[in-house]
Amino acid sequence: MRDLLTADDTTLIDLSIGLEDGVASEPTPPTIDAFDHEAGAERLAENLQAQGYDVDAEDFPDGMGLAWEALEVIPHAGTHMDAPWHYGPEVDGEPAKTIEEIPLEWCRGNAVVLDFRWMEPGAEIGVGDLEDALDDLNHELSPGEIVLIQTGADELWGQPEYLTEFPGMSAEGTKHLVEQGVKVIGTDAYGFDKPFAAMGERYVESGDEDELWPAHVAGREVEYCQIEKLANLDALPRKTDVPIAAFPIKIENASGGWVRPVAVLEADKTGGETA
């Protein structure tokens, strides 16, 4: 692994979407207020003056201080990991982990990509669908593997349709994966469940509370984390045994945290890449 991380011919594939100011694909979009270097000089000078030091903005080299940004953003914007606490206060009777309590061992390992780009938006991915996708890959899951659900929704990033045009996981499918030792499941869609409108419509028609965020609520029975808003799964050279690392930022007592998943690929002797 040391050689793989440092070798010149190693390829790193970014599987994340970043934070963008006011983007149409977020119902609660980030607000990013950027300060340039001149504004940075003013602010740093004010800070020093408040501490009793006679420093003006023009005293900085070239009149420029340090650029920075002020953000107003929820931890579920951009690519992020949901902690068990997001789903409920307990998992099978035990206190649910918050994001800073997630074991790092859960967040790195070999990933398998299951392709559901053929499914209609609003559809639900069930146990049979998962088993068929694994059969297509001739792959059997093992404990500690990371499962990535490919819907193709990341191609719509930046558009309002990103919020509505994807299939989602079912409660049964989620529990099925976790019961096989999977601790992290990711999706390239806006959400892990079906789109909001699909859940709302099905709930109004049936009156069944199980139609509301069923895959999330499954996390009250089985312990797992989910990554939402992945990207670039189509850039991976294979769909099994893909080494990835996806460590979330620590936020005290939080339900989730931003994450930047990266696939680490070793070049093969023919000039391509192999996971």
- Report residue 206's pLDDT band, with 50, 70 and 90 as the boundaries: very high
Task: Give the residue from 185, 153, 152 showing the smallest Cα distance to 261.
Answer: 185
Q: What are phi and psi of 215, to 5 degrees?
A: -70, -40
Type of residue at 130: L
- Helix runs in 51-170, H state only: 84-87, 127-137
pLDDT in tens, 161-178: 999 999 999 999 999 999
pLDDT band at 2; cut points 50, 70, 90: low
pTM (2 decimals)? Answer: 0.92
So what's the pLDDT on residue 269? 36
Residue 275 has pLDDT above 70, yes or no: no
Residue 10 is predicted with a pLDDT of 87
> Average model confidence (pLDDT) for the chain?
94
Domain residue extents for the chain: 2-7+11-19+75-274, 31-72
C-alpha span between 198 and 121 (Å, rounded): 9
pLDDT in tens, 93-109: 999 999 999 999 999 99
CATH number of 2-7+11-19+75-274, picked from 3.20.20.70, 3.50.30.50, 3.40.50.150, 3.75.10.10: 3.50.30.50
Q: What percent of the chain has pLDDT over 70?
A: 94
* pLDDT > 90: percent of the chain: 93
The pLDDT confidence band at residue 271, using thresholds 50, 70 and 90, is very low
User: Would the pLDDT of 192 be above 80?
Assistant: yes
pLDDT tens-digit profile of 212-244?
Answer: 999 999 999 999 999 999 999 999 999 999 999
Instruction: Determine the pLDDT at residue 196.
Output: 95
Give the integer Cα–Cα distance in Å for 6 and 1: 9
Specify whether the backbone of 22 is left (phi greater than 0), alpha (psi in -120 to 50) or beta. left
pLDDT value at residue 9: 75
Average pLDDT over residues 147-163: 97
Alpha helix positions (H), the chain: 2-6, 37-50, 84-87, 127-137, 171-178, 196-206, 214-217
Cβ-based neighbours of 132, under 8 Å, separated by 6 or more? none
The confidence score (pLDDT) of residue 268 equals: 57
